[in-house]
Amino acid sequence: MTLFTKQVVAIIAAIPEGRVMTYGQIAAHAGSPRAARQVVRILHSMSRKERLPWHRVVNAKGEIAITDDESRTMQENELISEGVAFQMDGSIDLTRFRHEPDPDCLLHHLASIKDEHE
């Protein structure tokens, strides 16, 4: 497992209830602004083993990115139950629900991750 992966996991795990982040955002905070797709892969592989709030991750337009119908509905329900409101067009208002990690907190977090990283 790479450092990038651990950072992504840590960032996702730190998303509070009722908030969402985009793939690109997460990738950028983990050090690779163009690695949105890796975030997807990590979500796929890690959400099975780890308990990640994968439902709090959406695409850049604030829409649910998942393709599977059942999972998409499940994500929708999770978000609604957390207080995330969907707009008429089925997207989320990112100006209201986007989570921006606190820089200091993030730095500290990443430092401790780097330590435990082999």
Partner DNA sequence: AGTATGACTTTAG
Partner DNA sequence: ACTAAAGCCATAC
Place of tokens 């609604």: 80
β-partners of residue 21 are 57
Strand, coil or helix: what is 20?
A: strand
In angstroms, rounded to a whole number, what is the distance separating the alpha carbons of residues 112 and 107?
9
β-partners of residue 113 are none
In angstroms, rounded to a whole number, what is the distance separating the alpha carbons of residues 4 and 38?
9
Work out whether 117 is an interface residue with DNA (CB under 7 A): no
Q: How many residues sit in the footprint of DNA (CB under 7 A)? A: 33
Work out whether 77 is an interface residue with DNA (CB under 7 A): no
- Which CB atom, from 60 or from 85, has the smaller least distance to DNA? 60
Work out whether 59 is an interface residue with DNA (CB under 7 A): yes
**Closest CB 21 distance from DNA, rounded Å:** 9
Residue numbers at the binding site for DNA (CB under 7 A): 1-2, 4-5, 22-25, 32, 34-45, 47, 54-55, 57, 59-61, 65-67, 71, 75
